[in-house]
Amino acid sequence: MIVSGVRAVLPTGILEDCCVRIENGVIAALDCPDREMAGYESLDGGGAYLFPGFIDLHVHGGGGADFMDATPAAFETAVRTHLAHGTTRLYPTAMSATEEDLAAFIAAYHTFKKESPLAALAPGLHLEGPYFQGAGQKSSGAQPKGVLRLPDLAEVDRLLALAHGAILRWDAAPELAGAPAFASYLKARGIRTAVAHTDATAEECARGFDSGFSHVTHFYNATSMHRKREQTVYAGVVEATYLDDRVSIELIGDGCHIPREDILLAMKIKGAEAVSVITDATRIAGTDCKTAKLGSLKNGTDVIVEDGVAKLPDRSSFAGSIATMDRCLRVLCERYGIMPSTASVLLSLAPARYMGIADRKGSIAVGKDADLCLVTEDYKIKNVIVGGEIAV
């Protein structure tokens, strides 16, 4: 395929009037002299931006489906919904849940992988919990409280056995008894662990990083920072993360969870390539529902939609976003004034680096997979290309 007349968004800047040649699903040239060649399908970009496909590290659902519905159809619906918004790779995320519900989520994923034409878009799973600060604790956010528990390596082993290598990342609160052992245990098995839903002090968090936690889940949200307890002041997860160059972060890019200054500060301290933007989308993403269940339909948490974000009904906490990655792009570029090339690092290259796939994904370069989005001047999706084929 030849994609001509595009403004290719590279990490270093924009390549104007670019003509991209794709061969066998891979970018073969960025300066193709001919807009049409025998044997090649042509796509005229009409001056649109060409972004690398977005990579969403943290997403619970979309199009009315939540991965915790634990059916292959729910996986299919959510993945297809996000694909239409430019996401060419995502990591289905489980909420904190009982072992039984997590097992059902894993089983549904296996069937989806076997049967779906979209299977390659979801190469593995992300477990958000259930080893978080417990019931009644303020940092549990929208995580269902009854199922939060301490890290349990026997349970971890049982879920890993069911997953057959499908679990690629797993989050826990580093201050819990057993959390450092959890992080080093998973690290030894090549599974990434992230700090999340935590009230840790900076010291507890730093101990976690030394044990193997290497990332912070929805940084600034349900993560502790400078505060006073009794007569003593403590630093928290935010400060410990800024002080440790080994640690990357992810931020919810819906424009509601994170103000502009906090994104700029994170990029300034960590460097854009260590800052991934995520949707943390619930099933509401890609729909116009005003109420929904977060997590499983059977025993999930009720949420409402107001001001473009999901909230607990008592409005005490945000409850995940309703964003898609193209909305995050609009927030970054139009509202926060971030350059498209930098936004692209946050939406594609940083998550590719975190997952260890940046040699093939996450930016537009010769030799990388042709996972691409054609995006209009006002940052709306025009086409999505996956592995050199027009998917949307």
Is residue 110 helix, strand or coil? helix
**101 touches Zn ion by CB under 5 A:** no
Contact present, 105 and 334 (Cβ < 8 Å) = no
CB nearer to Zn ion: give 128 or 199: 128
* DSSP letter, residue 372: E
**56 touches Zn ion by CB under 5 A:** no
Shortest spacing between CB 377 and Zn ion, in angstroms: 32
Phi, psi of 167 (to 5 degrees): -80, 115
Give the Å distances, CA to CA, from 283 to 12, 101, 148, 153: 35, 17, 22, 30
Q: Which of 160, 100, 95 is nearest to 131 (CA)?
A: 95
Strand partners, 234: 227
CB nearer to Zn ion: give 201 or 321: 321
CB nearer to Zn ion: give 74 or 358: 74
CB nearer to Zn ion: give 244 or 280: 280
Interface map 268-307 toward Zn ion (x if CB under 5 A): ------------x---------------------------
Q: H or E element: which one contains 205?
A: helix 202-211
Of all residues in this chain, which one has the CB nearest to Zn ion in the complex?
Answer: 280
CB nearer to Zn ion: give 128 or 273: 128
Shortest spacing between CB 194 and Zn ion, in angstroms: 11
Residues 189-248 close enough to bind Zn ion by CB under 5 A: none
Shortest spacing between CB 39 and Zn ion, in angstroms: 45
Is residue 213 helix, strand or coil? coil
Shortest spacing between CB 355 and Zn ion, in angstroms: 17
Q: Which stretch binds Zn ion (CB under 5 A): 82-90, 124-132, 141-149, 152-160?
A: 124-132
Bridging pattern class, strands 275-278 and 248-252:
parallel
Q: What is the largest CA-CA distance in the chain?
A: 76
Binding site for Zn ion (CB under 5 A): 128, 280
